[in-house]
Amino acid sequence: MMIAQAQPFVMLAPARHDRAECPVCGSAGLSHGGALCPHEAEPWHEEAEALAFEIRHTASPRLSTMLSLDLEELVARNLDRAH
Ligand SMILES: [Zn+2]
């Protein structure tokens, strides 16, 4: 009998890792300059961070869903533009 082993995949990367995904916009992070995300300094990213913060802290599942949609849209819009 085979037992499927769960392989925990840790998304949050400590600063010492070379590559990490930005927890806010999902971009592959670059740690060369010490920045987790290549978009970190952009104004839209600050907005996205604020949304991500709200998502983590709201007690309302409905609000959380709406905020997630807002965040997805904001990130998609700005990452598209960056291409
Ligand atoms: Zn980011």
Condensed to tens digits (0 to 9), the pLDDT of residues 14-63 reads 445 556 788 899 888 766 555 678 898 999 999 999 999 999 999 999 99
Going from the Cα of 30 to the center of ligand 1, the distance in angstroms, rounded, reads 10
Q: Which of 44, 36, 46, 35 is closest to 80 using CA atoms?
A: 44
Give the model confidence (pLDDT) of 55-77 as tens digits. Answer: 999 999 999 999 999 999 999 99
pLDDT for 83 equals: 53
Going from the Cα of 58 to the center of ligand 1, the distance in angstroms, rounded, reads 21
C-beta of residue 39 within 8 angstroms of C-beta of residue 82: yes
Going from the Cα of 69 to the center of ligand 1, the distance in angstroms, rounded, reads 16
Going from the Cα of 23 to the center of ligand 1, the distance in angstroms, rounded, reads 7
Q: Is 38 exposed, middle or buried (0-12, 13-18, 19+ CB in 10 A)?
A: middle
Going from the Cα of 2 to the center of ligand 1, the distance in angstroms, rounded, reads 39
Higher pLDDT, residue 49 or 11: 49
pLDDT for 44 equals: 96
